Amino acid sequence: MYKMRIIVFKLKRLFVPICICLFTIFLLVFSNANLSSAKNGLLLWANSVVPSLLPFFIATELLGYTNVISFLGKLLNRFMRPIFNVPGEGAFPFIMGIVSGYPMGAKIVSKFKSEGICTSEEAERLLAFTNNSGPLFIIGTVGIGLFKDTNTGILLFITHLLACLTVGFLFRWWKSGRKKRSSLLGESSNSVPEKVSLSNLGEVLANSIMSAINTIFLIGGFIVLFSVIISILENSNVLNILANFISPILNVLGIPLNYANGILTGILELTNGVCLVAGISNKAISTNVIICAFLLGFGGISIMLQILSITSKAKISIKPYLIGKLLQGTFAAIYTYIFLNTFWFLSLDL
Would you kindly state where each structural domain of the chain is located, as residue ranges?
32-175+197-346
| Alpha-carbon distance values, 172 to 25, 131, 176 (Å) | 46, 16, 7
Q: Which residues of the chain have pLDDT under 70?
A: 1-12, 177-199, 345-350
* DSSP-derived secondary structure letter, 255: -
Percentage, residues of the chain above pLDDT 70? 88
* DSSP-derived secondary structure letter, 190: S
- Cβ neighbourhood burial of 343 (10 Å; 0-12, 13-18, 19+): exposed
Confidence at residue 65, expressed as pLDDT on a 0 to 100 scale: 80
Distance in angstroms (rounded) separating the CA atoms of residues 176 and 57: 31
Confidence at residue 345, expressed as pLDDT on a 0 to 100 scale: 66
Nearest one of 174, 170, 228 to 220, comparing CA atoms: 228
Widest distance between CA atoms in the chain: 69
Confidence at residue 80, expressed as pLDDT on a 0 to 100 scale: 87
Confidence at residue 281, expressed as pLDDT on a 0 to 100 scale: 82
Confidence at residue 182, expressed as pLDDT on a 0 to 100 scale: 40
Confidence at residue 8, expressed as pLDDT on a 0 to 100 scale: 55
End-to-end CA distance of the chain: 59
> Which helix (H) or strand (E) element contains residue 341?
helix 319-342
Nearest one of 245, 221, 233 to 22, comparing CA atoms: 233
Confidence at residue 188, expressed as pLDDT on a 0 to 100 scale: 43
Q: Which pTM was predicted? A: 0.84
CB under 8 Å to 80, separation ≥6 — which residues? 86, 87, 88, 90, 91
Distance in angstroms (rounded) separating the CA atoms of residues 205 and 164: 32
- Cβ neighbourhood burial of 323 (10 Å; 0-12, 13-18, 19+): middle
* DSSP-derived secondary structure letter, 191: P
- Cβ neighbourhood burial of 334 (10 Å; 0-12, 13-18, 19+): middle
